Structure 1
């Protein structure tokens, strides 16, 4: 790999999300998609996906990982396959950008961390890299709303059981690991630490085998909390609000930015101020951030410590819903 170009392979060429992420990677300076793969036996589908990039189509994921012309891989597979293929990619010497959730447990994130060595691993929370989110971080750090007390976050959009991976528990399906992790990730980011306890109530629309929506409370102690709702049996909804003792910062279209301008509303005792963030592709900013981390050796914007926290909280929410009780994160 040179300082000028990071050569990418895509694991999951037929995944819907790859159709958005791979082109964004390819048009971001310093990055190029040079190889793609679907599952073995789907070489024709891989070839169709590869053609616009002038990339090599491989028959299966192992064949792509054996390609010495690939420096980094983007993993867009079902949730249950993120850990094993991340570990295989690291063993093959590749850097890894993996769709969220990177793992379904804190222990698996630790396994990935031990395997990574000097290679970059980043969970694909693309919204963290977007200029809108970076501006919110500046506003929060400025103290304009004072001490943060409450995060309210909602992310929902209707889908159907025909979208099999979301509804299959064996593949890590369910709303918590699909849209919910965005909602609690923003709370963990804003407070900068895990909660002391969580409580969740799940709903399974039509007798689904997974949670299709949920409400949850994350208690950070000292009167600080996050109030979440998320699901794929209602919507659309994509918004969060940071409430401080002196005001609030509200973010519309928080995780679904594409062609629309972002709008940040700041409310304090001095009045209401709205800031417009020009439309930008979050996947391009994600590719640029990943390239920066690989080039410099710095920790990426979404660190493995962040991923461990989100995995830990997601698992606690699942346990809380199962037992209908608070789950205490004792060493939070």
Structure 2
């Protein structure tokens, strides 16, 4: 674990220990912060390294979780791959399409996966089934969203809102030098949803941000062509909200909370011409399921990679395009690359 004292590490490290066959071998801190990391290490019976390079040189470590500020993800993912380690990297994997592609080229036979924990929750699997996409979990949706499983017809509009009121004091999310801002934090979740739901990237995007020196929130529209769109809002100022809705020609599928806690049931509402029904999905720990899927991929079961590298490339491309759209005050075309 690189970034053992981060907030997200407090959720992922316990999950690692609960997955059979997985062990927290070692954690690392920035040079000079070994005492704080040592407290974390003692909770899991792990070794502590003074500096990230020291951990990457540990022969007992097979895979590394990168839980560092956004601006550090690419550097340390690449160094971990160079050291022969598999990598689970906190989202966003990178702040640019080209950096995602660099990681892909460096990976070779090693596993790299971006950590979108909500994609591993059973309610996500249920949504995919309701879309008529078969039994295979929560991976990329195929084609144009014409599944009949939920009776909602052709998928036409995705609405997604991801937001959480975030304290500013000492928070790396508000530091532009560290890749801060709403777009690369909660925004990633918002545009992740239509990308897997439609299974393709948009033709063009539009966005309006507010905030300085980083974006604190945004509204955005993604145009997928042929009457298919996504309407998004995300923010570090209001919430909590992690809702998305898939609107088809004959109905809709709504997820009340994609960020369910380990003790909270998932609730999905399906509205069709035949009426309204709720699907309740038993509580589960999305972080634990994410770790288990990553471990399965490391052991050779690559079909467990719910978030493949080509999807991460799409997410980074859309994030960059939204930033450009806000800067130019107009639509940004993604078809002319």
Q: Could you tell me the TM-score, scaled by structure 2's length?
A: 0.93
How far apart are the structure 2 equivalents of 1:93 and 1:165?
29
Q: 2:251 aligned with 1:218, yes or no? A: no
Which residue is 1:326 aligned to? 331
**Residues 171 and 114 of structure 1: is their aligned pair in 2 closer, same or farther, counting only changes over 3 Å?**
same
Which residue is 1:162 aligned to? 169
How far apart are the structure 1 equivalents of 2:243 and 2:263?
17
How far apart are the structure 1 equivalents of 2:260 and 2:281?
14
Residue 85 of structure 2, aligned match among 74, 80, 94: 94
How far apart are the structure 2 equivalents of 1:331 and 1:74?
35
Which residue is 1:67 aligned to? 58
Q: 2:292 aligned with 1:301, yes or no? A: no
Cα deviation, 1:69-108, whole Å, max 9, x if unaligned, reads 0000001000000000000000000000000000011111
Secondary structure of the 2:254 match is strand
Secondary structure of the 1:96 match is strand
Cα deviation, 1:243-270, whole Å, max 9, x if unaligned, reads 0011100001113443211100111111
Q: CA deviation at 1:123?
A: 0.1
How far apart are the structure 2 equivalents of 1:160 and 1:321?
24
Q: Superposed, which structure 2 residues align to 1:170-249 within 5 Å?
A: 170-204=177-211, 208-249=212-253
How far apart are the structure 1 equivalents of 2:202 and 2:225?
7
Q: 2:36 aligned with 1:45, yes or no? A: yes
Which residue is 1:4 aligned to? none
In structure 1, the gaps of 5 or more residues are 1-9
How far apart are the structure 1 equivalents of 2:325 and 2:50?
42
Cα deviation, 1:176-232, whole Å, max 9, x if unaligned, reads 00001101001100000100000000011xxx3000010000000111000000001
Q: CA deviation at 1:163?
A: 4.2
How far apart are the structure 2 equivalents of 1:163 and 1:236?
20
How far apart are the structure 1 equivalents of 2:72 and 2:301?
26
Range 139-148 or range 42-51, more displaced = 139-148
Q: 2:285 aligned with 1:281, yes or no? A: yes
Q: CA deviation at 1:273?
A: 1.1
Q: CA deviation at 1:331?
A: 5.0
Which residue is 2:135 aligned to? none
Secondary structure of the 1:177 match is coil
**Residues 87 and 302 of structure 1: is their aligned pair in 2 closer, same or farther, counting only changes over 3 Å?**
same
Q: Could you tell me the TM-score, scaled by structure 1's length?
A: 0.94
Aligned length: 320
Secondary structure of the 1:175 match is coil
How far apart are the structure 2 equivalents of 1:292 and 1:246?
38
How far apart are the structure 2 equivalents of 1:292 and 1:147?
33
Which residue is 2:26 aligned to? 35
Secondary structure of the 2:202 match is coil
Q: CA deviation at 1:31?
A: 1.2
Q: 2:260 aligned with 1:253, yes or no? A: no
Q: CA deviation at 1:164?
A: 2.7
Alignment check: 8 A CA contact 2:260 2:266 kept: no
In structure 2, the gaps of 5 or more residues are 133-146
How far apart are the structure 1 equivalents of 2:207 and 2:54?
42
Residue 150 of structure 1, aligned match among 157, 179, 191: 157
How far apart are the structure 2 equivalents of 1:289 and 1:196?
31
Cα deviation, 1:146-186, whole Å, max 9, x if unaligned, reads 11000000011111321431111111100000001101001
Q: CA deviation at 1:34?
A: 0.8
Which residue is 2:48 aligned to? 57
How far apart are the structure 1 equivalents of 2:242 and 2:217?
14
How far apart are the structure 1 equivalents of 2:164 and 2:62?
35
